[in-house]
A and B are shown apart, each in its own frame.
Chain A
Amino acid sequence: MVILTSVLTTGALTLTACGSRDDSGDKGGDNGSGTTLTIGVDAPLSGENSTTGLGIQYGAQIAIDDANKNNWVPGVKFKLKALDDKAQPATGQTNATNIVGDKTAVGAVGPLNSGVAQTMQQVFASANMVQISPANTAPELTQGKNWQSDKKRPFKTYFRTATTDELQGSFAAGYAYNGLKKKKAFVVDDKQTYGAGLAKIFNEQYKKLGGKVVGTDHVNTGDKDFGSLVTKIKNSGADLLYYGGQYDESALITKQLKDAGVKIPLFGGDGMFATTYIEAAGKSSEGDLATAIGVPADTLPAAKTFIQTYKDKGYKGDYGAYGAYAYDATTAIIKAVKAAADANGGKVPTDINDLRSKVVDGVQKSDFEGLTGKIAFDEYGDTTNKQLTVYQVEKGAWKAVETGTADLQ
C-alpha cells in the first residue's frame, strides 16, 4: 500500500512538472529570436544511488552551460530537464514518456541503473529520440538478450558512453586473480540486472582463470542486517568477497564483515565507486576495491576545467563516477544538433520529429575528443572507448591502482 501511494504521488508530481516545463518551452518558441531545445536527464536524484545520480545531472548541466555560453549551435539555447527515477524502473518509464512528450526535447541523458534503462529504451525508440546513458553497463541493452552467442542491437536510439559489464566483470576477475593473488572468492549479488549480471560474469571469468568460487549468495536491496551472510563468508575461508550491486548494501556488508573479524577485501563494480561508500562504511572500507569505467577523471587533462567548474558551483553528488561521462553524452547530443543545423543551411529543422531522427543519426556518427577520451559509437551503440580502472580505498579515498582494457578469452 505504501508503495502504491508513493508511485501515485511520484506520478502526480512528474505530471505537474511536465505541465510547467511545457509552458516555458512554448514561450521560448514565441520569442522568435532563438530556439530553445531541451535535453532530458533521468537518474536517481533522491534516495538510493542519488550520489551518483546527481553527478549525472550536474555533469549534463555543465555541458549545457558550456554550449550556451560558447554559442555552439548559433541561435539555439539548450536547457536541462532533470527527472528523478528513484532507481525504479516504473518511474524511469514515466519519465521517458514525459521527456518524449516535450515538444522541445531533442534527446535524453541517463539513466544510471541498467534495470531502469530496460523500461525506457522502447519509449525512446518509438519516438525516435536519442538516449545516451553515461552509466549503464548491462550488455543486453545494446547487444540483445543473447549477447553471449548472437549479438543483435535491439534499439537504434540507445547509446552509452559506459563500457559493458562483460568487460568490467572480466577485468575485475583478472585483477583479483593475477593482481591481488586471491585464489578463493565468495560472490554475492543484489539480484538486479546490473548486480547479478556483473557477479555472473566475474564468477565465470574467475573460474576460467583458475580461481575457486567458495560460495555464492544473493541479498535484497534495502537489506540492513547481513549477520548470517557474514558468518557464512567467514566460515567459507574466502580471501576475497566479490559483490555485484550498489554502495547502499555493499557499505553495510563490508562494515559487518570487518566487525566480525573477517579481514578480506570487498571488490565490486562501478555501482560502488562513490565517496558515499567510504563515508557509510568508514574505516571498514580500507583496502576495498572497485572497478570503474574509463580512466580516472582527474588524470585527464581535458577534464580539469570540468572538475574545477563542478567544485566551484558547489554541486552535490559525485562527478567521479559518471559526471564526465554525462558531460560527454550531453555534448554528443549537442554536436548532433549542430550537425543537423549545418546540413539544413545553418538553421535547426523546425519539425521536431525530423530533428530528433537527424540527431539519432548524428550521434551514431559521433567522433570527437571528449573529457573521457575519444567519443565514438560502434554498430551496437556501445562506446569504442573500452578502458577500465581498478580503484582501491586508501586512507579514506579512492585511489586508482590499475588502468587497462579487459582481455576477453
Chain B
Amino acid sequence: MNTLPQQLANGLLLGSMYGLIAIGYTMVYGIVQLINFAHGEIFMTGAFGALTVYFYILPDGTSMALAVPLMLLGGALVAILIAVGAERFAYRPLRGAPRLAPLITAIGLSLALQEVVRNFYPGADRARAFPGLDSTHDIGSVTIKDADIFLILAAVLCMAALAFFVRRSRTGRAMQATAQDPDTAQLMGIDTNRIIVIAFAIGGFFAAVAAVAYGLKYGNVDYRMGFLMGLKAFTAAVLGGIGNIYGAMLGGVVLGVAETLASAYIDEIPGMQQLGGQSWANVWAFCLLILVLLFRPQGLLGERVADRA
C-alpha cells in the first residue's frame, strides 16, 4: 500500500490546526510587536468553552449538526473574552514598557490560565472526553474522518473571510495601516486601541475554531493542550514570516507536513533508523525552522523587517 497520500493528508490536517492558531500570534505581532505566549492557553480555554456548551448547556442527545455550531459559538465567546481581557489588563498597561515585560506577563498569564482551568473546571485535572465526529470516509487510499473535513473546511473558510476582511473592509485597512506605523495611523484618525483589540479578538476566534476542531478530532481535551500546540503554532508563524497572515497558514501547513513526513519516512533511509519515528518529529520540525531562518531570516513569506527592528 502506498502510504504517501495518507501521510500527506495527516500532515495537512495537523498543519491546518497549527495555522489557525498561528494567525493569533501573527496578527498580534504584526500590530504591537508582542509575542503573546498565552495564545496557546487561549486556544485551550476555547476548547473548554465548547466543552461547557456541549456538556452543561445543551440537552443530552443534541444532534452534532446543531451542537457543533453552538460549541463553536461558546468556544469563540470564551476565547475572545479571554484574549481581549488579556490585552486590556495584562498587555495594555505595559505598552511602551521594554519588550521583555509583556513577554514575561504573557508567560505568567499562560501558567495562570492553565492553573485556573485545572483547579476550577470540573474534572479538568486530567483529560476530559469531548464529543467526536468519528465516522470515516475512504477517498482512494486516504481515510479521513468527519472531524478532518470540519477542520479543513473551517481553515479554508476562516482564511478566506480574513483575507476579505483585511483587504476590503474599512477596519481591515485600518489594521494594515496600524501594522505599518501605529503612530502615523493614529494621527490619521485611526483608533489604534480599537484595532489592537480587534486583532486580539480575531486571533481568539481562530484559536477557538482550532480548539473545536482539535476536540472533535482527538476526542479529548486537557488543561495542558495549549502548551505544545501554542509552541508549534508560534514556530509556524515564525516559519511563515511573523506578522504575515498568509505566512502563518503556510508555515503551519509546511510544519505539519514536514513533521509527519519526517516521522513516517526518515527511519526508512539507510543509516537513519535511529533518527526516525514519531518521537523525532519535533526535532525535524525545529531543524526545518533553523534552516529556514538561516537562509531566509524573515520567514517564508515575511517582508524585510530591517526598518522596523
Contact = CB atoms under 8 A, between A and B. Distances in A.
Interface in A189-227: 191, 217-220, 222-227
A229 B10 CA distance: 10
A2 B110 contact: yes
B228 interface: yes
Interface in A285-326: none
Contacts of B127: 248, 251, 276, 279-280
Contact of A191 (B134, B263, B279): B279
B73 to A, nearest CB: 24
Interface string B271-288: 000000111011000000
Contacts of B11: 227-228
Nearest to A3: B227
Interface string B10-30: 110110000000000000000
B218 A255 contact: yes
Contacts of A282: 129, 132, 219
Contacts of A259: 132, 134, 136, 145
Contact of B111 (A5, A222, A260, A281): A5
Contacts of A34: none
B186 interface: no
B13 A227 contact: yes
Interface stretch (A46-54, A63-71, A93-101, A342-350): A46-54
A6 B225 contact: no
B167 interface: no
B39 interface: no
B264 A228 contact: yes
B208 to A, nearest CB: 18
Contacts of A51: 126
Given A224-B228, A276-B127, A218 B279 contact: yes
B92 interface: no
A224 B260 contact: no
Interface residues of B, number: 40
Interface string A396-409: 00000000000000
At the interface, is chain B mostly helix, strand, loop or mixed? helix
At the interface, is chain A mostly helix, strand, loop or mixed? helix
B3 interface: yes
Nearest to A279: B129
Contact of B6 (A2, A225, A231): A231
B219 A228 contact: no
A5 B106 CA distance: 13
A50 B125 contact: yes
B3 A217 contact: no
A16 interface: no
B107 to A, nearest CB: 6
B118 A46 contact: yes
B33 interface: no
Contact of B219 (A5, A229, A255, A276): A255
A245 B307 CA distance: 51
A256 B10 CA distance: 11
Interface string B207-249: 0000000000011100011011100000000000000000000
B139 interface: no
B263 A280 contact: no
A152 interface: no
B108 to A, nearest CB: 8
A217 B282 contact: no
B13 A220 contact: no
B1 interface: yes
A295 to B, nearest CB: 27
Nearest to B280: A218
A261 interface: yes
In the complex, which range does the number of interface residues on chain A fall in?
A: 35 or more
A127 B63 CA distance: 61
Contacts of A220: 278-279, 282
B228 A231 contact: no
B228 A228 contact: no
A225 B14 contact: yes
Contacts of B220: 251-252, 280
A228 B10 contact: yes
Interface string A330-358: 00000000000000000000000000000
A217 B277 contact: yes
A217 B111 CA distance: 32
A228 B281 contact: yes
Contacts of B180: none
Contacts of B176: none
Contact of B224 (A5, A222, A261): A222
A48 to B, nearest CB: 8
A220 B227 CA distance: 14
A383 to B, nearest CB: 28
B263 A228 contact: yes
A282 B224 CA distance: 20
Contacts of B219: 252, 255, 280-282, 284
Nearest to B133: A259
Centre residue among A51, A229, A261 by max chain B CB count within 10 A = A229
A316 B259 CA distance: 38
Contacts of B136: 259-261
B129 A280 contact: yes
A46 B14 contact: no
24 contacts: A6-B111, A9-B111, A47-B118, A217-B278, A223-B278, A227-B11, A227-B13, A227-B14, A228-B11, A228-B263, A228-B264, A229-B277, A229-B278, A232-B264, A235-B3, A252-B218, A252-B220, A256-B218, A259-B136, A259-B145, A260-B136, A276-B127, A280-B127, A281-B219
Given A47-B125, A228-B264, 6 more contacts: A218-B277, A219-B278, A229-B277, A232-B264, A251-B220, A281-B219
Interface of A: 1-2, 5-6, 9, 46-47, 50-51, 188, 191, 217-220, 222-229, 231-232, 234-235, 248, 251-252, 255-256, 259-261, 276, 279-282, 284
Interface of B: 1, 3, 6-7, 10-11, 13-14, 107, 110-111, 118, 125-127, 129, 132, 134, 136, 138, 143, 145, 218-220, 224-225, 227-229, 259-261, 263-264, 277-279, 281-282
